Structures are given as C-alpha cells and as structure tokens.
Amino acid sequence: MYNIYYSQFYQPYNTMTIFEELTRRGLIAQMTHPEEIEKALNTQNVTFYIGFDATADSLHVGHMLGLIIMRRLQLAGHTPIALLGTGTTLIGDPTGRTDMRQMLTTDQISDNAERFRLQMSGILKFDGENPAVLAKNGDWLTELNYIEFLRDVGRHFSVNKMLTAESVKSRLAIGLSFLEFNYMLLQSYDFLYLNQHFDCSMQLGGDDQWSNMLGGADLIRRAENKPAYALTFPLLVNKDGKKMGKTQKGALWLDKDKCSVYDFYQYWRNVDDADTVKFLKMLTFLPIEELEAMDALSGAELNSAKELLAYEVTKLVHGQEEAEKARDSAKNVFAGSGEGMPEVCIEKAESMGLLALMVAAKIAPSNGEARRLVQGGGVSVDGVKMTDPAVQIALDKDEIILQKGKKTFIKVIIK
C-alpha cells in the first residue's frame, strides 16, 4: 500500500510508513490512542473524516492543511470523508469565538457548501481509485427527534466534563448560549452516525477542536463498544505562535475572486525565514528527505526555498497553469516590468489625490492608513517616493505603477 502512496507523487526513498511521514512533517499534534492509531494507519484501510462548517462562501487557508492531510492519507490507501456541516452551521461552533456566530439561512449554507465542494475537488479526489466521500450532516441532524437524541446520545455526556472543554470554558465569563452548548453533542453524533453508516473509525481536525473530538470518540466506544480515534494536527501558526492566513485585505481565501492567485502566491513567498521549511514540510508533497536537508538553508538559498513553497502551494490550490503565471508575474515585478502585475482600473480625470488613489487601488484600506504609509516613506508612484500625503497625481497617461514597501505593486489602468 505504501509503495503505491509514494509512487503516485514522487519516487520512493525508503519504506517509510504513512504514520512516520506524518510525524516527520510535523502533522500530528494530539492523539487519543497513539499506538493503536499508528498501527491502524500503517496496516489497515481506515475510513476517517474531517468536518467543515459552511460559515463562509469560500474555504480559507485554515482549511487547506486539513485537505492536504486528507489527500496524503487518501494516497496511502485510506478513505477520507469530507463532512460539510450543513446542519451544525445552523448552530455555529463556539470554539475560538468571543461572541455568537451570525445565523445563516439554509439557502446560504447550501450555497456555501457547494462552493466548498468545488474547491475541495482540486485537492481531494472524489472519483477514480479509492475516492473520497462527500457527506452533509444536515441530511441527518435536521431529522433528529430531540427526545430520542437526548435519550440515546445526551445520556453519555457529563455536563461537568463538558464545562472543562476549552471551547466552552473560554466563553463562560462572557456568556454561552444553550444553542452553542449543544454543538459538542451534535459533532459527537456526527462521528457516531458516520461510524454506523460508513464504518468511519477516526476523526481528524485542527488542534483547537480537541475537546469536541474527544466527545465523538468516547461516544462510539460507549454506545457501540467499538474502537474510535481522534487525531489533531497543528494549526498553521508562524514562529511567534500567531495564526497564519490574515492579510491586509482580510482572510487568505482559496477562492481566487476573493484573493487573487498572485496575492495568494505572494503571501507564501513572503513568509518569515524561520517558517519556510516548516511550511514546505506541512503543505507540499515534496520528498521529506529533501525538505529535511533544507533545515540549514540561509540567505539566497532560503529565498529559493520560499519561491518553491509559494509555487507548490499555489499549484495545489489553483493548478499548475495559474501557479506558473503567478510565479512569472512575481519575477516580472521584481525585474521592474509591469507584465503580470495585479491591475485596477480607474476613470480618466485630470488628477486624483494620492490617498484616494491608494484606496481605489486597494493598496490601503482607508485614507488614514494610506496617510500613515506615505508618512512612513513606504509609497512610490512610478518609482518616485511620495512624501506629501496631500499631493495630486496627474492622470495624463494610460497607466501608473503604485508601490507599497518593497514587495507590493499595483498597476493602475486609466480609462
């Protein structure tokens, strides 16, 4: 099984097991039964799942690592279930929240789930050999009888224990609705349902889901007297422990209409030196032996590693053609050429204030932020550094190149 796993993505270096590969890539955070999980992943065909609540109209970088791990396990012969939370999204996961999530309509959730499905299909394979399974928990959660649910599921949960879960405990001081308090039970029931109908024995998820995931594994062992496991992977954080995926324009979305392929590429091209090889290990399918040899890189070699990271991750999410375009555009920008540079169009006029131009070009979110950038010496127009926030920019040409800092360029097309 594992020779097949290696041959589909790269030439095999040795007979390394999938569990060892996950470990060496830094993809395991916590496990319920380490020895049993290692044996199952190395010697059995495991059906496992990861849940995705459809709270937005696009997946973001926080979902990407889970999808990559699912694909890695799928290549190793295991069967992934991508569970779209069309039911749990009606309630909202309180994990990591300081307030209650906005309530979405069933139509909004359904539309979001369909967008998720299309984006997932670029990484996961839902057809061919060993296809992934797509499921929606609204299909069973919305049909539940509340009394039966309390009798069959609720009796296995201790409120005292639930109150110790981080997702609950962190909200008690400011208020947690009973609606949200039920989320752990519903997520646990998802695992039970998938176990009963798909023989699913393992749940994977981000490390912030650990408390919720324990409930499902424990429920199956109590209700079905069968083995069930939970395994978490680390959240994508930088060297300072801060979550990755936030840009000046907001979240790093996988939808290219919400985050351009060029901006997506540049995000990974500009990661901190200390994070580069770590993310190559976690987010690409390049041979782990080669990546481990990069741990001592520095200087120009590390810049090449960043380009490799940006290209490989962009290729995985947006395809090879788009990744090559983004890479070529970045090189053209670095060389001073406007070819391939992100563009924005504005109406022709005699002139426009610099701050208004920066906001229109989305190089700054507000006049205040634009003024701060100019006063800090970080803005150039056609290669000329701007020092006066009140300056008027003549619009007597077809295009203007705006630059913020050393790495952000926008071509302003004047029509």
What CATH number is given to the structural domain containing 298? 1.10.240.10
Q: Is the same domain home to 383 and 304?
A: no
Domains held by the chain: number: 3
- For residues 21 and 78, give the distance between their C-alpha atoms in angstroms, rounded to a whole number: 14
> For residue 239, is it within any domain?
no
Assign 7 a pLDDT band (cuts: 50, 70, 90). Answer: very low
Its domain, for residue 47, covers: 2-233
State pTM to two decimals. Answer: 0.77
Could you read off the pLDDT of 54-77 as tens digits, one per residue? Answer: 989 999 998 999 999 999 999 999
Q: Is the same domain home to 208 and 106?
A: yes
Q: Is the same domain home to 60 and 104?
A: yes
End of a domain among 182, 212, 233? Answer: 233
**CA distance to 48, 267, 344, 355, 401, per residue, from 366 (Å):** 45, 21, 16, 8, 19
- For residues 48 and 79, give the distance between their C-alpha atoms in angstroms, rounded to a whole number: 6
Q: Is the same domain home to 124 and 229?
A: yes
Query: Which CATH number do you get for residue 58?
Result: 3.40.50.620
Q: Is the same domain home to 330 and 351?
A: no
- Check pLDDT > 50 for residue 109: yes
Q: Is the same domain home to 259 and 404?
A: no
Are residues 201 and 229 in contact, defined by beta-carbon separation less than 8 angstroms? yes
Q: Is the same domain home to 150 and 295?
A: no
End of a domain among 206, 233, 260? Answer: 233
End of a domain among 183, 203, 233? Answer: 233
Q: Is the same domain home to 347 and 330?
A: no
- For residues 24 and 145, give the distance between their C-alpha atoms in angstroms, rounded to a whole number: 45
State residue 103's pLDDT score.
77
β-pairing, 229-233 vs 30-31, is antiparallel
Q: Is the same domain home to 9 and 158?
A: yes
> For residue 30, is it within any domain?
yes
State residue 323's pLDDT score.
95
> For residue 35, is it within any domain?
yes
